[in-house]
Amino acid sequence: MSGSVRRIAKTEGLLGFYRGNGASVARIIPYVDLQYMSYEEYRRLFVQAFPNVWKGPTLDLMEGSLSGGTAVLFTYPLDLIRNKLAYQLNVLGMVNNEQVYRGISDCLSKTYKEGGIKGIYRGVAPTLFGIFPYAGLKFYFYEEMKRHVPEDYKKSIMAKLTCGSVAGLLGQTFTYFLEVVRRQMQVQNLTASEEAELKGTMRSMVLIAQKQGWKTLFSGLSINYIKVVPSAAIGFTVYDTMKSYLRVPSRDEVD
C-alpha cells in the first residue's frame, strides 16, 4: 500500500488521490439513499403481504440483498465511470499527452458511443452477484449483532459503530473476489492486451485465477477494509440515528 501511495504522489501529485472522486460523490448519494429507502420499503411490503411469516435473520438477508441490487441498477453507470476515471492513467497512461477521458460527461458519452446501453452496464452482472450477498450479509450481521446488545446500550453510538464495523468487515471479506472481477471487466477495454476478453462472471473469475493467480482475486482487500469498515459503521449509525430523529417506527412496531 505504501508503495502505491508513493507512486501516485510522484506521478500524479495530490490530485491523483482524488481522480474519479466527482463521479464517486455523484454516485454515492443516490446509491445510499436508494439502498436504505428500499430496505425499509421491502420490509414494509413483505410484512404487509405475509404477516404470518417468521420475521428474523432470513428476512434481513433477503431485504438487504434486494435493496443493494435496486441501488446498483439505478446507479451502475456512474460506478463504471468512476472506475474508468480512477484507473485510466494507471492502466493506459497518457495518449499523446492527453487523458482518455476528460470528465464524467465525456467518459459517459464515449462509453455509450463505444457500446451503447451494454457498454455503460458492462460488468453489472458480477456487481449484482457481489452486491446481493454483500448487502444481504451486511444488513444481516448488523441487525443480528444489535439483537445481542444489552438494552441499556442499544442507543449507544459506540455500540452502533461497532456493529456496523463488524458487519461491513464480514460482508466485504466474503464477497471481495467478485469486486475484483467486476473492476477488471469494467476497465479491460482500456488495455491493448491480447488476452481473452472477460465475459461472464464465472468465466472471468476462472480466467483471472488462471492468468494472474488466485491471490489476485483478493488483491487490495486489506486497503479496502480501510474504506469499507468505517463507511459501513458510519452509514449504519447515521441511518439508525436519523430514524430516531425522524421518529420512524422501530422494527418491532412495524412487525
The domains located in the chain, with CATH, are 2-254 (1.50.40.10)
In whole angstroms, what is the distance from residue 236 CA to residue 138 CA?
A: 10
Mean pLDDT of the region 113-117: 86
Model-level pTM?
Answer: 0.76
Quick one: average pLDDT of 4-24? 71
Per residue in 46-81, pLDDT (tens digit) is 888 877 766 677 788 899 999 999 999 999 888 888
Note the pLDDT of residue 94. Answer: 45
For 204-241, write each residue's pLDDT tens digit: 788 888 888 888 888 888 888 888 899 999 999 999 99
* 248: its cell numbers: 420512524
